[in-house]
Amino acid sequence: MGSILKKYVYRYNAVIFVYIFLIIIFLGFSISFPIFRSSKNLTNILIQIVPLAMVSIGQTIVLIGGGVDLTVGSVISLTTVIMANFLGDVPSVTIIRILFVFAIAIVIGIINGFICNETKIAPLIVTLCTSSVIDGAVLAYRMSPGGIVPKELGNFINFKFGIVSVSTLIVVVLYIIFITIMSRSTFGIHVYAMGGNSEFAKMAGINVKRVRIMTYIISACLACVTGIVIAARMGSGLPTVGAPFLIDSLTAVIIGGTGFSGGHGFVLGTLAGAVMISVISNALNMANVSPFYQYIAKGAILLIAMIINSRKK
Amino acid sequence: MKDAKLKIETKKRKTFIYVFSNIFRKGGVYFVFLILVVFIGILSPKSLGPSHIMDMLKNSSVLGIVSIAQTLLILTRGIDLSVGANIIFVMLLVDGISMGNPNKTVLVIILALVVGILIGLLNGILVVKLKIEPLVGSLGVMSLITGISYIYTMGFGKGTAPPFINTLGSGQLFGFLPVSVVIWAVISIVFIIILKKTIFGRHIYAVGSNPKSAAVVGINVSRVSLIVYVISGLLVSLAGIIWAGYLSSPTFSGGQYFPLDSIAAVILGGTLFAGGVGGVGGSIIGTLIIGFLASLLNMIGLSHPWKLISSGLIILLIVFSYSGRSRTN
């Protein structure tokens, strides 16, 4: 029993550390600001974490596979404008819109993965260029915010069971699915192997190309889900809404203990990273601190988490 | 028999392709640049006149200086995403403290350079001493510096650059040569010489291509990396001073393009992400490609979205054209 515990602590020490850090921060805020611990605010936090927590799952998986996906922000923007505009203002097209954005996300994932597979260009440059193309397409389609997302979708996403909304439930389900996939399935093992050393993974008989394309498809699809949730909540298409999610998702993933070098990291850690970012910005809002300080808080937490992580290695 | 013949033929073809691709790979970026210039010449012959070329160079000079800093970092396996935030911060400091007062010119320049050195030192210590991955460390620094900039100005940049700094950013020597282009050229030459001719330059390549063997040979790897970070911080703050002179009033927008544009310029110039291979010369051409491409797309009359789309595709195509297909095929 003790040895099993030791094994788990050893294996997940980065994750355990992030959660301890998160709990300390959470307790600290709860003690210092009474408004922060009110049930209304906790409900708010549960809703606020949703987009970042979703999009960061995909980024984690791509980073574990040794890549990086800079297109997530652009895919989110793309999804919101399509959800608000595509095929005119008829409520019944919602399903078609959703299917259409997923189809586009899959194509984007395939393109990203394909280029990374077939060329020697670094993933950073590949996805930088594809995100520029997607951004351009979004702005060509819709220059300014507008369009209408059917209210039914918003009502469904925001429907609450007690303090838990449907969007929060979707996040929980997604985390359970992807934690299981990454830790229990062959695909997960293949992603870790590919990120650790793609040549060795290939020699071991893993279809590296397919696995890489799959990681980019997952990332694009999760960005797409995030876009749908944001569009449903805002009720309209916002061509630049995705931009901050790029840096924020990378920050959440890195706080969660996943590195840029590939082959290691945990989806569970990313959840803590995303929650931490949202909790801190919420608490700073509650404390009436100027939003400008959030940049400093985010940067400081990222650096502190990294310093402590690198100390342990 | 037939098989053997076929083999020889494919071998021949392979060597031909190899030779061709080798030429292309070595001179690829210059080729591409030439094609771009020819395109501009065909589309609008007037724009290749000296004054227009000087304009294009002037618009690229800040990115050019940042790309030199980025080249040094990528050569030693580093990278800096905080360059955009740093340029904006330096610009805000220069404008906000001097308020256009010529007597404070020396003060703000010294202050800006000190700030640059400190930011470089911070990035360097994070990466070299505390062993944080460069991409992550600079991401954190970017966030910090952006926050400090916002708090310093409360969201609205104030003041303006003193006349001397305005001259640096938008003035001309002898009536036709932009000062910022001269500064860019001088810095480029200095760093080409440093990289090619000095011991420190050799150390940079050695550290980048294999830090472990560099350490075995007796190179102080962490000192070399730290110095490179400080130098690049200095270069970026210089770029910030020029940016302050280039813009008529301080603004937060525009800075976000520097990190990724400078990395794209370096990669376009043939410097490898893995470190140890490449140089400043390629990055200059890479910067020019990005700058000339932007003005070419402007000339065709594309709107902003279509410019984003085409520049993304073209940069991807250019990098592909000389980095080639993956070896694992």
Highest-confidence range of A105-114, A129-138, A281-290, A291-300, by mean pLDDT? A105-114
**Residues B264-282 pLDDT 10s:** 888 888 888 777 888 888 8
Q: Residue B185: which of B266, B320, B280 has the closest Cα?
A: B280
CB proximity list for B187: less than 8 A, separation 6 or greater: B65, B68, B235, B238
Q: Residue A261: which of A170, A213, A194, A189 has the closest Cα?
A: A194
Please give the class, per CATH, of domain B48-315: mainly alpha
Give A156 to chain B, closest Cα distance, Å.
33
> Which position has the higher pLDDT, B22 or A254?
A254
**Residues A2-38 pLDDT 10s:** 677 777 777 677 788 888 888 988 888 888 888 877 8
Query: Could you tell me which residues are beta bridge partners of residue B173?
Result: B177
Interchain CB distance below 8 Å, A292 and B155: yes
Q: Which residues in chain B have their CB less than 8 angstroms from residue A277's CB?
A: none
Q: Mean per-residue pLDDT for A109-133?
A: 89
> Which position has the higher pLDDT, B255 or B118?
B118
Query: Could you tell me which residues are beta bridge partners of residue A146?
Result: A237
Task: Please name each of the domains of chain A with its CATH number.
Answer: 15-26+40-312 (1.10.3470)
* CA separation for the pair A228, A224 (Å, rounded): 6
Burial of A157 from C-beta contacts in 10 A (0-12 / 13-18 / 19+):
buried
Q: Compute the mean pLDDT over every residue in chain B, rounded to the nearest whole number.
A: 83
Pick B148's closest partner by Cβ from A120, A296, A313. Answer: A296
Interchain CB distance below 8 Å, B142 and A306: no
Residue A169: phi and psi, rounded to 5, are -60, -40
pLDDT band at residue B143 under the 50/70/90 scheme: confident
Interchain CB distance below 8 Å, A124 and B273: yes
Predicted confidence (pLDDT) at residue B325 exceeds the cutoff of 70? no
Tokens 């922060």 found at: A36
The answer to whether the beta carbons of residues A58 and A65 sit under 8 Å apart is: no
Q: Mean per-residue pLDDT for A284-313?
A: 79
CA atoms within 13 A on the CB side of A154: 16
pLDDT for residue B17 = 61
The answer to whether the beta carbons of residues A194 and A65 sit under 8 Å apart is: yes
pLDDT for residue B226 = 93
Q: Mean per-residue pLDDT for B246-253?
A: 84
pLDDT band at residue B43 under the 50/70/90 scheme: confident
Interchain CB distance below 8 Å, A130 and B312: yes
Query: Could you tell me which residues are beta bridge partners of residue A119?
Result: B325
Least confident of A199-213, B1-15, B67-81, B170-184: B1-15
Pick A118's closest partner by Cβ from B311, B316, B325. Answer: B325
> Which position has the higher pLDDT, B290 or A90?
B290
**Residues A98-110 pLDDT 10s:** 888 999 999 999 9
The answer to whether the beta carbons of residues A59 and A69 sit under 8 Å apart is: yes
The answer to whether the beta carbons of residues A29 and A281 sit under 8 Å apart is: no
CB proximity list for B189: less than 8 A, separation 6 or greater: none
Predicted confidence (pLDDT) at residue A244 exceeds the cutoff of 60? yes
pLDDT for residue A191 = 92
Interchain CB distance below 8 Å, A121 and B319: yes
Share above pLDDT 70 across residues of chain A, in percent, rounded to a whole number: 96
The answer to whether the beta carbons of residues A103 and B282 sit under 8 Å apart is: no
Pick B150's closest partner by Cβ from A124, A136, A292. Answer: A292
In 10 A of CB B269, how many CB atoms? 23
- What are the angstrom distances between the C-alpha of A36 and each of A286, A289, A300? 7, 13, 21
Q: Mean per-residue pLDDT for A261-276?
A: 88
Size of interface A-B (CB pairs under 8 A): 147
Share above pLDDT 70 across residues of chain B, in percent, rounded to a whole number: 89
Secondary structure string (H, E, C) spanning A133-184: HHHHHHHHHCCCCECCCCHHHHHHHHCEECCEEHHHHHHHHHHHHHHHHHHH
CA atoms within 13 A on the CB side of B255: 27
Q: Which residues in chain B have their CB less than 8 angstroms from residue A298's CB?
A: 143, 147
Q: Mean per-residue pLDDT for B233-249?
A: 91
Query: Could you tell me which residues are beta bridge partners of residue A161?
Result: A164
What is the residue extent of each domain of chain B? 48-315
pLDDT for residue B194 = 92
Pick A120's closest partner by Cβ from B141, B264, B327. Answer: B327
Residue A147: phi and psi, rounded to 5, are 85, 170
State which amino acid sits at residue B272.
Answer: L
| Nearest chain A alpha carbon to B316 | A129
* CA separation for the pair A20, A312 (Å, rounded): 15
pTM, 2 dp: 0.82
Predicted confidence (pLDDT) at residue B324 exceeds the cutoff of 70? no
State which amino acid sits at residue A282.
Answer: N
Q: Mean per-residue pLDDT for A73-81?
A: 91
Give B179 to chain A, closest Cα distance, Å.
32
CB proximity list for B94: less than 8 A, separation 6 or greater: B108, B109, B112, B161, B165, B240, B241, B244
Q: Which residues in chain B have their CB less than 8 angstroms from residue A313's CB?
A: 131
Q: Mean per-residue pLDDT for A205-211?
A: 90
Give B163 to chain A, closest Cα distance, Å.
31
Q: Between helices A166-184 and A208-234, what is the axis angle to 10°?
A: 170
The answer to whether the beta carbons of residues B312 and B318 sit under 8 Å apart is: no
Predicted confidence (pLDDT) at residue B154 exceeds the cutoff of 50? yes
Please report the beta strands in B85-229, taking only residues with DSSP state E, as ranges in sequence order: 172-173, 177-178
Q: Mean per-residue pLDDT for B55-62?
A: 87
Q: Quote the tokens at residue A296.
A: 């400093």
Predicted confidence (pLDDT) at residue B8 exceeds the cutoff of 70? no
Query: Could you tell me which residues are beta bridge partners of residue A237?
Result: A146
Q: Which residues in chain B have their CB less than 8 angstroms from residue A259's CB?
A: 133, 136
Highest-confidence range of A156-160, B24-28, B196-200, B229-233, by mean pLDDT? B229-233
pLDDT for residue B328 = 41
Q: Compute the mean pLDDT over every residue in chain A, rounded to the nearest whole number.
A: 85
